[in-house]
């Protein structure tokens, strides 16, 4: 495993230029924690590679809240400490800048060289679009509801209850005006089914809340990150109720 203070991954297909590593390090020295490479002059096919990549990058930037032109560029520079708590699953490596940003990292990008492929065969293409869509759904959920899943499940539950209420109300109205009996319309069944669906969504939300709390509390994982503590090493003099002055060590 890498042990340096700065981690710089790059492709092994000779399309990235190692000469850009020094420029990435200089950019880190400007106060950033993550510097993402941007293949501004990308040497790939426009229709099958560049166009899908442009669309995906804009969607990912919008969903993740970290505007980057090129999430797919492997040439990036990370400070080791911002990645210490990042856990990747599946093919979520392309979203490392987003995860790092959630941990409080300062993220930027810079243009890097990109050469035409001369070795190997690309494993990316239009066939991976569906996987990227699923990954973006996961990112959106994690970004918006990671610590409050009841909000998303509860919203679906309320929608189901609303449909159930309207269907039941319409069924009763039709019954009263003599338009259709309960056995002549599927509205009563729809009302019952949607009510059950609403209950299930709320129960799923409560279970998700319990899982989130178990996840954070069992592993002592904070829901926020603290970059620096200022003033905690000082001692403060606090007046007590008895008129005596007590010294409190803020570093404890």
pLDDT at position 244, please? Answer: 53
pLDDT at 252: 46
pLDDT at 57 (0 to 100) = 87
Question: To which H or E segment does residue 82 belong?
Answer: helix 80-83
Report the alpha-carbon distance of residue 157 to residue 5 in Å, rounded.
Answer: 47
* Cα–Cα distance list, 237 to 146, 211, 232 (Å): 40, 42, 13
Neighbours of 83 (CB within 10 A): 19
pLDDT at 139: 82
Count of CB atoms situated within 10 Å of the CB of 209: 17
Average pLDDT per block of 10 residues along the chain, 252 residues long: 81 84 92 91 77 85 88 89 75 83 87 80 66 81 81 94 96 90 90 96 94 77 69 55 52 48
Rounded to two decimals, the pTM is: 0.67
Region for 120 from its dihedrals, namely left if φ exceeds 0, alpha if ψ lies in -120 to 50, beta otherwise: left
What is the pLDDT, as a whole number, of residue 124? 63
- DSSP 8-state code for residue 126: G
């Amino acid at each position: 495993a890498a042990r340096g203070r700065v981690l710089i991954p790059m492709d092994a297909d000779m399309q990235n230029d190692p000469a850009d590593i020094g420029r990435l390090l200089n950019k880190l020295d400007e106060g950033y924690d993550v510097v993402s490479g941007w293949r501004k002059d990308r040497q790939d096919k426009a229709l099958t590679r560049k166009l899908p990549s442009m669309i995906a990058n804009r969607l990912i930037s919008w969903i993740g809240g970290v505007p980057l032109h090129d999430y797919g560029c492997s040439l990036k520079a990370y400070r080791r400490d911002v990645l210490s708590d990042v856990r990747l699953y599946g093919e979520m490596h392309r979203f490392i800048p987003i995860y790092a940003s959630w941990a409080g990292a300062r993220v930027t990008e810079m243009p890097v060289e990109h050469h035409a492929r001369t070795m190997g065969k690309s494993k990316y293409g239009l066939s991976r679009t569906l996987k990227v869509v699923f990954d973006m759904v996961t990112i959106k959920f994690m970004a918006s509801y990671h610590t409050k899943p009841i909000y998303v499940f509860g919203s679906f539950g309320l929608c189901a209850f609303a449909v159930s209420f309207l269907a039941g109300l319409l069924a009763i109205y039709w019954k009263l005006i003599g338009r259709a009996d309960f056995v002549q319309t599927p509205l009563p069944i729809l009302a019952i089914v949607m009510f059950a669906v609403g209950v299930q969504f709320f129960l799923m939300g409560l279970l998700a809340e319990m899982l989130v709390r178990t996840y954070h509390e069992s592993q002592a994982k904070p829901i926020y990150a603290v970059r620096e503590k200022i003033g905690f090493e000082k001692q403060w003099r606090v007046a007590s109720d008895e008129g005596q002055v007590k010294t409190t060590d803020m570093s404890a």
